Amino acid sequence: MAGTNKIGIIICDRYKGCAGGKCFRSLKNHEGAFSIYGSDALEVVGYTSCGGCPGGNIEYAGEEMLKNGAQAIHLATGLVVGYPPCPHIEYFKRFLEARYSIPVVIGTHPIPEKYYQLHGQLGTWKDGAWKSIIAPTLADEALRKSYN
């Protein structure tokens, strides 16, 4: 992926007031799920919420992002670390990829350590599906702590 990669970010509607600080920090530093782009430049061409359960904005957000040149869509880490995590996240990924033929990455910034610890206590991510879902944002402990 040489050059500038244009991406869209979809966040959980519960956090629609989020200013995106952790997402944009990790994008700038190529941390968390943005590490897949190496040192290539990244440009955000869309940032919105899912529209609330069960994701009423997913269908339209993807279309708008593509019109703006998105080459990939990231489903924000908030969808993974919320209480409870988004029960529709895998469906959103499949839908967006099928509908728009665009790669969809689950995650943006590294999982903050405080969320990692509490979800560990709750057993949230024990099953195999969740292990692969959190993998792109499961950084080392020091980096997770820096996102607390």
Say what percent of the chain tops pLDDT 90: 91
What pLDDT, in 10s, does the model give residues 114-136? 999 999 999 999 988 899 999 99
At a CB cut-off of 8 Å and minimum separation 6, what does 130 contact? 85, 124
CA distance linking residue 111 with residue 101, whole number of Å: 27
Residue 3, pLDDT score: 78
Residue 127, pLDDT score: 84
Q: What is the mean pLDDT of residues 42-61?
A: 95
Output the pTM of the full model: 0.94
Strand 104-106 vs strand 72-75: parallel, antiparallel, or unpaired?
Answer: parallel
Q: What is the mean pLDDT of residues 28-55?
A: 96
CATH T-level fold of 4-146 = Rossmann fold (3.40.50)
Q: Hey, where are the domains in the chain?
A: 4-146
What pLDDT, in 10s, does the model give residues 66-77? 999 999 999 999
What integer best gives the mean pLDDT of the chain?
Answer: 95
For the chain, the straight-line distance linking the first and the last C-alpha, in angstroms and rounded, comes to: 30
